[in-house]
Structure 1
């Protein structure tokens, strides 16, 4: 049986990203405000090995693309490859990650932000938004690192 994260994220991969990011839990009780990630009673959420692997691979992709994007040297192919790699890792997490429901719900928020960044990086919001898409993914990864217990996680250094 798949976890709730698997089911929601699998559905999210088939829906427009903006809809998922605006409402990552799949329902809205009249509250249009975006959800904000929270700690687990002041502590970071526990993760599993698949989540660790997928997020680590995303961090490598961001650290490889962000300097090119910031310098204005990234080409469309760089952004497309970045988006493909991030999407591949999200799919891996969807298929393999098993978290407790509360941690799962918090991860939905992060994944929604990541997927919005992927759309921008792949040019779905126009070519000028590609670099900001990489930054959006980087910020989502930093939020992940601040809220999930990923041993050895180092925040992505964002351009000033």
Structure 2
């Protein structure tokens, strides 16, 4: 599946989760990818972590490393707006890669979309597109999403971010 813009990717993730903020037209677009199993709350797979595939592990590893590198400046509140924008762009690129290469079973895919929605929400704030939130708050959302990935998905090479 290929996407022509970041907006379509955002539409896909938000619509597939039935968040309702994107409207009914966006939800219809996302129906093609959510496999009919939209979830609003993360849960384990009968007490076990969800399976992952190589593209997901690659993308989440890269995002984790990128955020880990930026974390000292985020904590010290010295990351410039341009740094937050760059981080936001990296989130969008990695999410696009994940969605385009989706090969998870429907139930795991639905759980992943909960994490993707949080990552995209954080990316929007980091890009300065949410006036009611700071860019730093967006980074905190991204950190939470990455932490949730480590909690809910089986990825033996994943290194949690110490914070």
Q: Please state which band the TM-score falls in when normalised by the shorter chain.
A: 0.7 to 0.9
Distance 1:17 1:129 in 2: 22
Q: Is the CA contact 1:61–1:86 (under 8 Å) kept in the aligned structure 2?
A: no
Matched, 1:100 2:96: no
Cα distance, 1:42 vs structure 2: 0.3
Matched, 1:35 2:35: no
| Partner residue in 2 for 1:30 | none
Q: 1:14 to 1:150 in 2, by over 3 A?
A: closer
| Partner residue in 2 for 1:114 | 119
| Partner residue in 2 for 1:147 | 152
TM-score (normalizing by structure 1): 0.79
User: Structure 2: which 5+ residue stretches go unaligned?
Assistant: 21-26, 29-38
| Partner residue in 2 for 1:31 | none
Q: 1:21 to 1:117 in 2, by over 3 A?
A: farther
Q: Is the CA contact 2:10–2:120 (under 8 Å) kept in the aligned structure 1?
A: no
TM-score (normalizing by structure 2): 0.78
Aligned alpha-carbon RMSD (Å): 2.7
| Partner residue in 2 for 1:83 | 88
User: Structure 1: which 5+ residue stretches go unaligned?
Assistant: 28-33
- Is 11-20 or 72-81 further displaced after alignment? 11-20
Bigger RCO of structures 1 and 2 (CA < 8 A, at least 6 apart):
1
Cα distance, 1:40 vs structure 2: 0.4
Cα distance, 1:35 vs structure 2: 1.4
Q: 1:41 to 1:14 in 2, by over 3 A?
A: closer
